[in-house]
Amino acid sequence: MPLPGTVRVKLSSEAAGAVSFTPVVVQELPVRELLEQVLGVVGKNEPRVREILLRGTLVSGASRFRWTGWEPDPAGLRQVLDSFPDPDPSRAFEKDRCVRAILRGGRQPIEIPREGLFWELLMEVARDAGMQYGGYSYRHRADRYLRPFSAGETARLCAGSGTVRYSMLREQIRSAGFREAELYVTR
């Protein structure tokens, strides 16, 4: 069956916690947007994508997507999948195109806002040697880079946390014990 233009999808929450009832939202989702969600979970693995489209269900983050499954036309599916970017390890990190930064390695990830002096310090430290390409994130529509930090770089970032506007974020940076940054760069 050829790929439809839109798919009627039921969206519900899969958030963990106490027993709760969440509303189910029904919407017409462009097939490309549904495929972005699928690619965010399984990547460009065509047999897995086909299996998920046929099954008609996907859990992505805290959301469950359900639709009437169908067997996609292999040539049509391949054509649409080919229109999505492929990972490209030869792409250099471009700090000006970096749209998201997360410090990792401590108790919990720390999302850093793309504003202010601390962002500039993080980009300065990150662009030095040691950047590793981590693949393409279909969920974030960006190339993903990992930048492990030395003890000295971590200390420098912790010392620079005084420039962070929000006190809670400032304290998280100082006490989290992060070891690397995960950076997302748009094309």
Q: What is the pLDDT of residue 15?
A: 65
Domain co-membership, 120 together with 66 = no
Q: What is the pLDDT of residue 62?
A: 86
Band of the pLDDT at 117, cuts 50, 70, 90? very high
Q: Does a structural domain hold residue 88?
A: no
Domain co-membership, 70 together with 102 = no
Percent of the chain with pLDDT over 90: 83
pLDDT tens profile 62-95: 899 999 999 999 999 999 999 999 999 999 999 9
Q: What is the pLDDT of residue 26?
A: 94
Indicate the pTM of the whole model.
0.85
Domain co-membership, 26 together with 75 = yes
Within a 13 Å sphere around the CA of 130, how many CA atoms are in the beta-carbon half? 17
Tokens of 139: 């969920």
Q: Is the separation of the CB atoms in 142 and 99 below 8 Å?
A: yes
Structural domain boundaries enclosing 30: 6-82
Number of structural domains (the chain) is: 2
Q: How far apart, in whole angstroms, are the C-alpha atoms of residue 182 and residue 166? A: 21
Domain co-membership, 71 together with 123 = no
